[in-house]
């Protein structure tokens, strides 16, 4: 069903009986849309609001989203989905609702205690976004920022605002901290770090009990593969995590502060199938550098990719029935170049290592 079907609205009312879900999860529309590939979201991050007409003309249906039968969102950014999976370990499913910003008033009610917002780039002050927007003229409001502010305004204007706490997380949370826009956006607390953390769950417990929250909380990142959760629902663009961390240690880089972990193939494949089951034709493995997968915590240097393991993983994904596109995320060039050199001097070759110490799906001789 596309764009706010009425059947969905009716069942929503039954589900929450007009009292709202205890925990409502959402994200800006322009970070959630699953339309026209990565390019549209990247444009929305970087084009000023006054150029929105160009995208409206090229993609007249970009605002159309799909619904579950209970009126909740069919897809959400991966960060929301992992948060949802994390909360489901402690709260019953009927307490949690993921919805698009336009439907917030259907899911927020007198029983709502938390509205959790996940955001990638709410104020458009990250690299590239702010720079490109200002090239286009005096308006510095990127399209994505306009829609993020619109979401926060809806939450702020809720007649039940006194009853619930607003918790923000995701890779763009720092923008609210650094611009001190808590009051303006009506945000109680910004969480920096992953939702799987016990600290995040402790914070949610506090919020449900109506306790005061700190403005900013830094939570610990899981240290091993078992600590990372995989949702079995649909994510925007079929984003499935492949690695965390990078390991190159650029001093300014936030993702690199995370431990370097490559995630197990069987869990990646389960998440791919969950996306397909829920109607996605597109998958994208999220990573800081796809070439480190299959060789993390081995003696192999960064720039020697585990080619066989990578080909095995990507082949299985693109050959999964229902997957029509795979969008590549981040990578570095050096490993691809190294992999094309037939006879490296022996000093540049990594020492062979025992197969048992290697990463997942190792097929390298
Ligand atoms: C896939 C991806 C994209 C995709 C898809 C995005 C989407 N909407 O799904 C595309 C290509 C469209 C994209 C676009 C952009 N991206 Co991007 N993207 C990524 C990438 C590779 C993965 C994101 C992801 O889904 N990760 C997996 C999920 C599970 O992680 P997560 O969202 O961080 O969620 C975890 C925590 O943050 C937390 N959490 C998340 N939400 C919440 C909410 C609450 C309440 C709580 C408590 C916790 C919590 O818990 C989750 C895990 O448990 C990251 C790098 C990375 N490794 O994160 C860059 C990254 C997030 N992107 C980045 C940038 C700069 C951009 C762009 C601005 C680039 C541009 N100029 O065009 C745009 C912005 C788009 C927009 N709409 O404005 C930067 C972020 C910089 C920043 N915010 O300061 C990153 C970190 C890349 C980098 N290394 O620089 N991106
Ligand atoms: S992700 Fe990029 S910026 Fe960050 S440490 Fe790795 S190479 Fe450096």
Given the structure tokens 């995590």, which residue do they identify?
Answer: 241
CA of 228 relative to ligand 2 center, distance in Å: 21
Note the pLDDT of residue 347. Answer: 47
Note the pLDDT of residue 36. Answer: 83
- pTM, to two decimals: 0.91
Note the pLDDT of residue 133. Answer: 66
Note the pLDDT of residue 12. Answer: 53
Residues of the chain with pLDDT under 50: 1-10, 13-14, 346-347, 352-365
In the structure encoding, which two tokens stand for residue 24, read together? 């409502």
Residue by residue, what is the 3-state secondary structure of the chain? CECCCHHHHHHHHHHHCCCCCCEEEECCHHHHCCCCCHHHHHHHHHCEHHHHHHHHHHCCCCCCCEECCCCCECCECHHHHHHHHHHHCCCCHHHEEECCHHHHHHHCCCCCCEEEEECCCCCCCCCCHHHHHHHCCCCCCEHHHHHHHHHHHHHHCCCCHHHCEEEEECCCHHHHHHHCCHHHHCCCEEEECCCCCHHHHHHHHHHHCCCCCCCEEECCCCCCHHHCCCCCCCEHHHEEECEECCCCCCCCCCHHHCCCEECCHHHHHHHHHHHHHCCCCEEEEECCCHHHCCCCCCCCCCCCCCHHHHHHHHHHHHCCCCCCEECCCCCCHHHHHHHCCCCCCHHHCCCCCCHHHCCCCCCCC
Residues with CB under 6 A from ligand 1: 30-31, 38, 41-42, 44-46, 77-79, 82-83, 116, 118, 120-121, 126, 128-129, 144, 167-172, 191, 194-196, 200, 236-237, 239, 241, 255, 286, 288, 329-330
Note the pLDDT of residue 348. Answer: 52
Per-residue pLDDT of 284-324, as tens digits, reads: 999 999 999 998 888 888 788 999 999 999 999 999 999 99
> Residue whose CA is closest, atom 49 of ligand 1?
169
Residue 218 contacts by C-beta under 8 Å, 6 or more apart in sequence?
192, 193
CA of 120 relative to ligand 1 center, distance in Å: 5
């Amino acid at each position: 069903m596309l764009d706010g079907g009425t059947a969905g609205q009716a069942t929503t009312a039954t589900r929450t009986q007009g009292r709202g879900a205890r925990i409502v999860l959402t994200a800006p529309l322009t970070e959630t849309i699953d339309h026209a590939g990565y390019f549209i979201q990247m444009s929305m991050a970087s084009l000023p609001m006054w150029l929105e007409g160009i995208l409206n003309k090229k993609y007249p249906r970009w605002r159309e989203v799909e619904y579950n039968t209970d009126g909740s969102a069919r897809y959400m950014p991966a960060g929301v989905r992992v948060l949802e999976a994390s909360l489901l370990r402690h709260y019953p499913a009927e307490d949690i609702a993921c919805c698009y910003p336009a439907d917030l008033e259907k899911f927020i009610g007198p029983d709502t205690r938390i509205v959790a917002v996940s955001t990638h780039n709410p104020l458009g002050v990250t690299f590239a976004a702010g720079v490109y927007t200002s090239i286009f003229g005096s308006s510095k409001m990127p399209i994505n920022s306009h829609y993020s502010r619109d979401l926060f305004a809806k939450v702020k204007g809720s007649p039940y605002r006194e009853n619930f706490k607003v918790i923000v997380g995701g890779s763009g949370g720092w923008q609210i901290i650094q611009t001190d826009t808590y009051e303006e956006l009506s945000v109680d607390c910004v969480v920096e770090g992953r939702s799987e953390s016990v600290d995040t769950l402790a914070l949610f417990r506090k919020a449900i009990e109506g306790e005061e929250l700190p403005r900013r909380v830094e939570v610990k990142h899981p240290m091993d593969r078992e600590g990372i959760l995989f949702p079995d629902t649909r994510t925007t663009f079929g984003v499935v995590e492949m690695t965390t961390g990078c390991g190159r240690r650029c001093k300014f880089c936030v993702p690199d502060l995370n431990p370097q972990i490559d995630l197990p193939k069987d869990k990646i494949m389960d998440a791919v199938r969950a996306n397909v089951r829920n109607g996605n034709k597109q998958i994208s493995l999220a990573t800081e550098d796809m070439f480190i997968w299959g060789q993390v915590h081995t003696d192999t240097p960064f720039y020697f990719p585990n080619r066989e393991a990578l080909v095995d993983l990507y082949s299985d994904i693109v050959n999964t029935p229902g997957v029509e596109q795979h969008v590549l995320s981040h990578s570095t060039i050096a490993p691809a170049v190294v992999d094309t050199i037939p006879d490296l001097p022996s000093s540049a070759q990594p020492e062979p290592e025992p197969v048992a110490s290697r990463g997942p799906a190792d097929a390298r001789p």
